[in-house]
Chain A
Amino acid sequence: MKEPVEIIDGTTGQFVDAELFDEITVEHFLETKKLWRPLVLRASEKLRAQGRQNMLPDYTNWDWTKKEPYLHMLATKFFGITCRKALQGIEVVQTENITGDCQCRLPVQRGKSLLYVDYLQVAPWNIKVLMEPIGEKVEFRGVGSRLMEAAIRFSIEEGFKGRIGLHSLPSSEPFYRNECGMVPVMRDPRKQNLLWFEFTPDQAQAYLGGDI
């Protein structure tokens, strides 16, 4: 699957053409190591020098190469977004797993199946708190939102009606709560007390219809 999506140029504020795709390979995982990691380290050093190391988002040390065994699992689906020949964001979702994370917890839909967003990450040059310390603007905005839309569409396509659930890292809670409008349900003691968010079908539709 390859389809055009629009993201926003961080400098001009204009929409630019990007591509959403699901044929993720090990090469994409290696790209996150080769191109994303050095920038994260550079920004980390600056933040540390400024005494603001606590500003470093907690998802910047993910190692996508560890996800390689899941590339061919039926229960796992990867999405990526490229623009100007570079990977701008990547996510992995699960339609089924053995941890119970594909079950709704929100009382109105408890026990029903949902699509679990396992990991979602945008390239470091698209993260404001990383680019600011090195004196640069973010390259693109809206990458995370497009990946969330892809997850919702996949949830609908797979029969989950848009129901989505995820564990949010602390630094991402504002994104899921305020920008996506997801419902914070509970802290999960099984997952480092991370906050569990859900979308109902109506909320998912509202998100797709929004202008984020």
Chain B
Amino acid sequence: MNVKRTMTLNLTDSEMKVLEELSRQKDLTKTTVIRQALRLYQLIDARIKRGEKLFFEDPEQKKAELMVL
């Protein structure tokens, strides 16, 4: 197992509410939600740096939206 390092994260009330809601929905601890967010951010960033594009698609409206980080 990798050694984990500790940091303090200061969040606003609304940010904390979002974190708590995601934690409940995903059945993850708040720490894991933050770690998941970091993993996703790195993944998307790496692919965009390689020249790829990220789209969100609404299959019903047949509408695609380009996401830029």
A binds B: yes
**A→B interface (CB under 8 Å):** 1, 69, 73-75, 95-98, 109, 111-113, 157-161
Contact check: which of B1, B26, B42, B43 meets A112 at CB < 8 Å?
A: B26
Q: How far is the CB of B15 from chain A (nearest CB, A)?
A: 19
Closest CB of chain B to A34's CB: distance in Å? 27
Q: How many A-B residue pairs have CB under 8 A?
A: 50
Any A CB within 8 A of the CB of B18: no
Contacts of B38 in A (CB 8 A): 74
- B42 near A75 with CB under 8 A, answer yes
Majority secondary structure of chain B interface residues (helix, strand, loop or mixed): helix
**11 pairs of residues in contact across A and B, judged by CB atoms under 8 Å:** A69-B50, A75-B42, A75-B43, A95-B36, A98-B44, A111-B25, A113-B26, A113-B27, A113-B32, A158-B32, A159-B28
Contact present for B36 and A113 (CB under 8 Å)? yes
B46 at the interface (CB under 8 A from A): yes
Question: Are B1 and A96 closer than 8 Å at their CB atoms?
Answer: no
Asked whether B39 lies within 8 Å of A75 as measured between CB atoms, the reply is yes
Using a CB-CB cutoff of 8 Å, which residues 17-58 of chain B contact chain A? 25-29, 31-32, 35-36, 38-40, 42-44, 46-47, 50, 54
Whether B1 contacts A1 by the Cβ 8 Å rule is yes
- For B1, B31, B50, the residue with the greatest tally of chain A CB atoms inside 10 Å of its CB is B1
CA distance A157 to B29 in the complex (A): 12
Contact status of A73 and B43, CB under 8 A, knowing A1-B1, A95-B36, A157-B1: yes
Chain A residue at minimal CB-CB distance from B54: A98
Q: In the assembly, what is the distance between CA of A140 and CA of B54, in Å?
A: 43
Assuming the contacts A69-B46, A73-B46, A98-B54, asked whether A112 and B27 have C-beta atoms less than 8 A apart, the reply is yes
Query: In the complex where A69-B46, A98-B44, A157-B1 touch, is A74 in contact with B39 (Cβ < 8 A)?
Result: yes
Minimum Cβ distance to chain B for residue A75 (Å): 4
Contact between chains at B29 and A98 (CB < 8 Å): no
In addition to A69-B50, A113-B32, 14 A-B residue pairs with Cβ atoms within 8 Å of each other are: A69-B46, A74-B42, A75-B40, A95-B36, A95-B39, A96-B36, A97-B40, A111-B25, A113-B27, A113-B28, A157-B1, A158-B32, A159-B28, A159-B32
